[in-house]
Structure 1
Amino acid sequence: MRLYATQTSPYARKVHIALLEKNIPCDVEWVDLRAPGHAALEHNPLGKIPVLVRDDGSSVYDSAVIIQYLEVLRPEPAIIPHDPEARIEALRIEALASGIMDTTIAWVLEQRHASDCQDAAMLQRARGKILAALAMLQEETDAWQDAGTVSVLTLAQIATVAAVGYVDLRVPDFLVQFPDLTTWMHTMRLRPSVSATAPR
């Protein structure tokens, strides 16, 4: 299989970590989304990443869908709990982390406009949403202090790493008021799947 990704996409990082945690062999091809006719376009008409191309040439895209496919492809070790309540909880946290990624990307793109063209109200709303979601993730990580040494990470933990890592990459000041979350993230960076997928 081949994963098309960029080196800074938090969505691609989430999938890449899952592949490593589940020990599924997969080549990774880095693409430049700004380049016309980049490789991912051949496999996803929207040109978005990540895209997972299976051995038969068919494509799976959207990080959440790829994660579900990986669980079907290799059920064990499971990163999504089998227990129904625990499963819903993991998917809820994945959705929260994805919302942080979405909103941080929107914040970054708006910041790239000339200062007199920026939507100040939008930036304030986005910042508020990101901070509120990070506060909730910090509460979640209080129960994950052993995550660095477990046999396999859960989807909730993987998605949290991807989201917090992206905030740290783009707007690290947002993390200043969350020291426990930052400490947890520093510990997670020692895990091979996390260190191997760090944005470059």
Structure 2
Amino acid sequence: MQLIGMLDSPYVRRVTVSFGLLGLPFEHRPVSVFRHFDEFRRINPVVKAPSLVCDDGTVLMDSSLILEYAESFPARRRSLVPADAAGLLHDLYIVGLALAACEKSVQLVYERQLRPAEKLHMPWVERISGQLLAACTGLDAAYAAHPVQVASETLTRGDVASAVAWHFIQAMVPETVPAGDFPALQNLSARAERLPAFRAAPHGEGTVQPAE
């Protein structure tokens, strides 16, 4: 399998970290949807990251769909999905908040870095910022109420998405979401970033390295 996309995307990083935790082998190709648009379009005409080129040539896109497919692999080390109904419900709640945080933080980055300053519509920026803060508030409250064991053997899809989202937010739009206001989320991310699967796929423009 080949995973296409840059590790500066929280969606690409979510998949790479999850693959590492699952113990699934893959090749990472850091192709940018901006700088390498034509190359990416030859792989996936939609030019959406992450894209997963499967062994039979099928191209999957969207991090959640890719991770759903990954859970079908009998060779995976474990599952990232809770087996009980209550645990699954809680994890899906966390995934929803984390992906909302990813979406709104990416929108803010696009607004500030890609749109000309004279075209910036501040009411829209304020709305996105409010949605981002609401998602982070929900995540912080959830992790404060239900602390998790941060270990390679115990993290769920929601935990991975939350930790990756928080790291992206603090790397890209920290002025919008002050770290000190979200201690439980900050603690989760800091501890997760020390795990081998996270260290093997650091945020940025590099390539996934073999896990330790």
TM-score, normalising length: structure 2: 0.86
Pairing 1:1-200 to 2, within 5 Å after superposition: 1-34=1-34, 35-38=36-39, 40-74=40-74, 77-112=78-113, 113-142=115-144, 143-147=146-150, 149-173=151-175, 174-176=177-179, 177-200=181-204
CA deviations 1:17-41 (Å, max 9, x no partner) are 1100010011101002122412x32
- Bigger shift: residues 133-142 or 64-73: 133-142
Rounded to whole Å, the distance in 1 between the matches of 2:8 and 2:37 is 19
Rounded to whole Å, the distance in 2 between the matches of 1:144 and 1:196 is 25
Structure 2 unmatched ranges of 5 or more: 205-212
Aligned-partner residue type, residue 147 of structure 2 = W
Rounded to whole Å, the distance in 2 between the matches of 1:150 and 1:192 is 8
User: Once the two structures are aligned, what percentage of the paired residues are identical?
Assistant: 24
CA deviations 1:117-156 (Å, max 9, x no partner) are 2111011111111111111111222323421x35142001
Residue 209 of structure 2 aligns with which residue? none
Rounded to whole Å, the distance in 1 between the matches of 2:44 and 2:55 is 16
Q: 1:85 to 1:179 in 2, by over 3 A?
A: closer
8 Å Cα contact 2:139-2:162 kept in structure 1: yes
8 Å Cα contact 2:149-2:155 kept in structure 1: no
* 2:4 alignment partner, SS class: strand
Structure 1 unmatched ranges of 5 or more: none
Rounded to whole Å, the distance in 2 between the matches of 1:42 and 1:152 is 38
Q: 1:79 to 1:36 in 2, by over 3 A?
A: closer
Displacement of 1:16 after TM fit? 0.5
8 Å Cα contact 1:167-1:175 kept in structure 2: no
Count of residue correspondences:
198
8 Å Cα contact 2:51-2:62 kept in structure 1: yes
Rounded to whole Å, the distance in 2 between the matches of 1:51 and 1:150 is 24
User: RMSD value over aligned CA atoms?
Assistant: 1.7
TM-score, normalising length: structure 1: 0.91
Displacement of 1:42 after TM fit? 3.1
Aligned-partner residue type, residue 53 of structure 2 = V
CA deviations 1:89-117 (Å, max 9, x no partner) are 21222121111111111111112333332
Aligned-partner residue type, residue 22 of structure 1 = L
* 2:3 alignment partner, SS class: strand
Rounded to whole Å, the distance in 1 between the matches of 2:59 and 2:183 is 40
Q: 1:180 to 1:95 in 2, by over 3 A?
A: closer
- Bigger shift: residues 93-102 or 23-32: 93-102
8 Å Cα contact 1:175-1:182 kept in structure 2: no
